[in-house]
Structures are given as C-alpha cells and as structure tokens.
Structure 1
Amino acid sequence: MKFVDEAYIDIAAGDGGNGCVSFRHEKYKEFGGPNGGDGGRGGHVYALADVNLNTLVDFRFSRRHEAKRGQHGMGSDMFGAAGDDIVLKMPVGTIITDAETGEVLYELLTPGEQIMIAKGGDGGFGNMRFKSAINRAPRQKTPGWPGEKKNLKLELKVLADVGLLGMPNAGKSTLISAISNARPKIADYPFTTLHPNLGVVRVGPEQSFVVADVPGLIEGASEGAGLGHQFLRHLQRTRLLLHLVDLAPFDDAVDPVAQAKAIVGELKKYDEALFRKPRWLVLNKLDMVPAEEREARVKDVVRRLRYKGPVFEISALTREGCEPLVKAVFQHIHAEHLSEQVPVDVDPRFVSAPSE
C-alpha cells in the first residue's frame, strides 16, 4: 500500500429536515388542531482513530464526504427520521486542520478515539410547536438548519517513542529490523527507505516501545533536498532521537563527522523543538572497522563532534551492542512516562506506589 501522510478533504454534515404544517381530519371532529411534526436532524460526520490504518491513501482518491439530510416532518404528529451519520476512519496520529485558516481543529492520539468533526443541522419545527391558547390553528413552520461544511487538511504524524536519524545508508533500516518486528527494504544503495517504517521493540514481558525509521537526510533537506524532509514531521512526537553515524562509509572521501553536523543543522532549520529533543549518538557498522582501530576511530568522531551525551557502538548487521542500546532506550522512555504521571506541584515522596 502506498504511504500517504497528507490529504485534503471536503466534508458536509446533513441538513435538518423541514417542519410540517398539517391538521387533524377526523369524522365528527371539525377542529382537530395542528399535528405537523418536526424535521429530523441531519447526519453528523465523525473521525475515528483506527489502529489498523497507517496511511491516508484512502482520502487521496475520495475527497468529498457527505452525511445524509434529515427526513421532513409529517402529519399525525410524526417527526422526521434523523439522517445517517458517517464515520471516517483515520490512522492514529492524524492532525485535522482547517484548510483555509490553518487552524488545528482536532488530533487523533488515542486508538479508538471518535470525534465529531461536522455537526448535522437541527430539524425544523412543525406547526404543532406553535399551538397556543390564542393561536389554535397555526400555519407556521420552520425549515431545517444547514449542516456544517468544512474544507480540511489531514496530516499524519506517526506515534513513536524513538526516531532514527541519519544519512542515507547509515544503517537505520538494518537496525530497526534487528531490534524490532519491522521488515523494511534493505539494500546497498542510498534512499532505500522511501517512507517511514514503524517497529515494536520487545524488551521483556509487558515492556516495549515503538521505533520509527524515516528516509535518510542529506544537507539541504530543510529546503527540500532529498526525501527525508517530507517525513521529518514524524519525528516531532518522539521522545528520543537516535542519531546513527556510519563509521565505515563506502567512499573514503566522505567524512561521517561532517555529515553528522550537517544533519544536526538541518534539524535546527526545520524545527527548533525537534532540534532540542534528547539525541543519542549511535556509531554503526562497527563490524567493518578493524578491531585495533575501533577505539581510536570512535574517540575521534566523538571528539570532533564535541558530543557529551550517551554514545553507543553497535553493528546493526551482526547485532553487536544492540541489546545494551535497547535496554538504555527503554529505561529512558520508562522514566519519562513515570515523570509525566506525577504532577509537578506534588512531592514524589507523597505519591503512593501502585499496589501489587
């Protein structure tokens, strides 16, 4: 299935049905009185977060979505039936924005979450509503209210705990296939990854996190060069970035340190908040460096990058060093989860531990 993370749609909720003017006509009852019913409500339009979807491709080819209008009121005190609602299934992580103003209207962040994105119009009143002691034969009625109509932009930002960052051919796809259940395409040429891949990393019983692999970045990505800039939005919701650096590039003239600095610069140009996210250095392809040169090469890269955070030396191909990396990532994410559960103004000593 083609990966689509942006689409534009037009939605229209149903109009309300019109009220009815009617009077009772029965034998021996000359003045039966009004009995015109109200119109039915128009159908609503809902958005549903579906965990089984991971792309907006359905909305790329089906742009117009309309709910049914309400039925008109009828005589004999009969109200019109409400119009059928429609439910638009979208991937979890979809942002719904007003296409004209750019205002963010809704975000689908929880699986199974359902939000009304367009309200159906109320039905009009029939003449029985206007009956009174001084107006016993009203002929008034009201039309149904129109339903809401909107032009929307749908934008998907995948929900992942960890994002993989790096140049094309840095080994991101190999790493995600080594530590998770994801099976992306892997080849020995650049830009193998053409769309984001998600994988669930199992650390232990009921212990896991989600990792996202996006197409590799190159210098000038924030201005539109390469493919990675199209998918940087998918890293904005992650808690941690793993910056993969190739210790053994195919071309000896390529400097991995210069490439790493270029990527950091592109992050800053694209989004300051993304640039400030915790970012760990992962030095990959250790198996391709002679054992006697590994320590010196690692120290040289770290020194030239002036990096002071956690550093991991791995080989995604042979899985050397992957287990300590996975455990450290899980501990970091788990600690963030716990800190979010405790309010800032509450002393942690007075928060009771969960019962066994």
Structure 2
Amino acid sequence: MHVAELMTTPPVTTRGDAGSVSVGPETDLATAADLLTSIGVPALLVVDTDGHLVGTVSRSDVLRTLASRQEPGRAELDPPVRRLLELTCRAPSVHNTQPWLWRVAGPTIELYADTSRRLPASDPDGRTMLISCGAALHHLQVAARGLGHRCTVERLPEGPRSTLLARVTVAPGLRVDDPDAQVDERHRKDLEESARDLAAIAARGTDRRRFTSWPVPEQRLDLLASIGSHEGCLVVPVVDPQQRHRLEELVERARALQASDPGLRDEQLRWAGRGGDDGVPEPALEGPATRFDDRPVIDPGGIERADGVLVLATTTDHVLDHLRTGETLSRIWLTATSGLLSLVPLSQVVEAPEIRRSLQQDVLGTVLSPQLLVRVGWQETSRDRLPPSPRRPLADVLLR
C-alpha cells in the first residue's frame, strides 16, 4: 500500500508544520511510518516528480492503517499481548498526551517516544515526555508480572539520542492463582504484590479535586519514598515547615508564570476538555481550575496544609534519569492507589528553569536535580469516582 492511497488533498498542513521532509506518492507506508517516527512530525508532505505539493499524509492515518492490515506472514496481536499493552497504556502522562509507541516482535516489546506529542511550550527538551514514557515502561513491567510473565528490561539500547527508549523481553512465569504453582512463601508474597499492583493499574486515576483536611502521616510518606527509591530515582518527602512554605511560594510563582505566558496558556487550552481519545477530559477539570477566557485549563491547584508532598529527584539530569523518574512515579502512584491515597503530579514547578533551580537550592538544599513534584492526600469518601481518562486506540500506538 502506498502513500497516495491515504494522502489528503488539498494539503491540510504546511511545510512549516511538517518540516522539510517530503515523500513521493508511491512511497510505501512502512517507509513513511519509519520517517514519521524518526523525525517526530504529525504529517509528511507528498510531492510529485515535478516537485509540486500534491497532498499530505498524517502520522495517525499511516500508523492506524499499518496496525490494522492483515499481511501475509503477519499475525494479529495475540490476546495476551493485547491485554498486556492495554494495561500498559493505562499509564499516566502529562496532560494525558500518551507520548508512546510500541513495536512487538515475538517475545520482545520495544518502547519508543512519540515525539509528535511532546509539548513544545512547557517541555521543549522532552523531559516530561520521557517521564511519561518511563511511567508506561513501569506499567508494562507491573502488568507483565501480574499476568504471570517474567520480563527483562534493556533501557536506551541504542543510546540516549534514539527514540527507542527500552527493549523488554517477556517470558512465561507463574500466576498467584495457578493451582500447580510450586513457590516458596517469599515468591508467593511477590506474586500477591503483583496481583495488587495489577488491580491498582485499573483503579489508578488523576483526581485534581481538592483533598480533604485529613493529614497524610509522615510514615506513609516515608513508605512511598522508600518503595519509590528502588526504581532508580530518589523520593524526598517535604515535611519541614520552612521548606513547605518555600515550596508553596514556588508553586504559586509557577502558576502565575503559566497564566501570564500565552504559549503555555494556549498549549494547556489545546489539551483541556477537548474530548476524543487523549487530553484531560472535562470532568477532570472540576475543582480548583484557573480559567483563561472563560475556559478551564489543567491546574491541580496549590499545596494545602494537609497535603503530603514528595519531590522526585536524581543525581544527574540525563535521558536515563528522566526515564527512571517516570518508573518511580508509576511505582509510588500504584502503591498510593493500593493504600487509598490520591496522587497528583505538579509539573509546573519544574518546567521553568529558574523555579526549578530555586526548588533545588531552597527546598532540597543539595545538588540533586528535581524532576517532579507530587502531592498526595485523601479524597472525600462520599464523592463519586471520576470516569477514567480516555486512551488512544491500540492501533494508534503500535508500530509495524
């Protein structure tokens, strides 16, 4: 199948939108998909042999078509693999952008960054995009264990400049409900923990509504910090009153900066209450939401006295650190969910370089690089659960 069969005419994008990369009408879809993945643009220009722009072909159309085609020698995803990826894609992501792509080849699953979903205004370097992908990578590992698989993970197999972020090899394992399983008590506890994590994937969500006034015990924060730190990122509870006061000031500065920046404002508006299979749905914008031009935007509010606060930080500030931060975020979020705690990331405070430096110097007081701030607390038990955030169809996130 060729690009000409999918292209839109007249062109619905410009050379500025798709960069300088063009293909001919006879380019096969697999080649177009490789180009779209490597350069991270939403569409390719289609140019005839005379150099005339005759149409455009979108990334979503190419990937969806490739994923749905039944080609000779290419089988559909096995149901267990499909279930594994469906659970994996429940992972949290900044503004619910879901910036990941997957390639399945036998027992190997590869994770790629979908750079077309990077947020250019708030995330020019792609750091929070990588954190989102790291959360998906951890969800994959948790889902695999919960479904009775073992997996090994190779991070950045082609180096930090590649969009290939991880290669995961999945092998059969044991399930806790397997009547023939011969395991000792330690392994049985591991299996039971995996089953709890699997349930937490289904229950986890982002609820931006104000927490109750019930304080989160420091012991709970210490437990989250201890568990999260096993994933390659330090988790630092902020409990000192002076540090918390300074942190509250930084959060307010970040919110004010966001409100005054047209680029950040427009970016949030594009992802807030937009409907469809991505972005933050309208019900999730209830509660403490700032409004621009009478439209709600994503704003989890400030830090209240009863909120527990954790800073995720790393000793260096490289691609691997960002990926491991996402894995840590997933770990503490699932643990919090199992313990009936609600968790909300506050990414604004680490998006502006000057505020991020203040967080490092004034709150952490170390050379650690702050990657993300999260607040945890208790939701009102009488509240209805929010509906789950939408997810992109699996066909849209699969590479051939």
Q: Same fold (TM over 0.5)?
A: no
TM-score, reference length from structure 2: 0.22
Q: Which has the higher contact order (CA 8 A, sep 6+)?
A: 2
Larger radius of gyration: 1
Bigger fraction of residues in helix: 2
TM-score, reference length from structure 1: 0.23
Bigger fraction of residues in strand: 1
